[in-house]
Amino acid sequence: MTVAEDSRVRLAPGVMLRHDRNRGAWMLMAPERVLTLDDTALAVLRACTGPDAPTIGGAIDALAAEYDAPRGEIATDVLELLADLRLKGYLAP
């Protein structure tokens, strides 16, 4: 599934972003599935989802500025991560 910079994404129905205090980790929880997130994936999801989230391109701009990283590298990583999460059913358009 293609994810473009001018699109927006949200968590798929039934998917929740939760912090597991016992494991000290953030997770995407879906029916009968759990995905543990690393710090990078968490930052991307926080930048790209939510009621006031910008387009993916806007989130990429913000992440590149926040981490003082080349936008092209950030864009490649963000688009790849979001496409993978969408393909696995954690994100919806």
Residue 2 is assigned to a structural domain of this protein:
no
Predicted TM-score of the model (pTM)? 0.91
Residue 66 is assigned to a structural domain of this protein:
yes
Q: Could you list the pLDDT tens digit for every one of the 93 residues in the chain?
A: 679 999 999 999 999 999 999 989 999 999 999 999 999 999 999 999 988 899 999 999 999 999 999 999 999 999 999 999 999 999 998
* Predicted pLDDT of residue 1: 61
CA 89 to chain CA centroid, nearest Å = 12
* Predicted pLDDT of residue 51: 86
Residue 37 is assigned to a structural domain of this protein:
yes
Total domains in the chain come to: 1
Closest to 11 measured CA to CA, from 82, 75, 67: 82
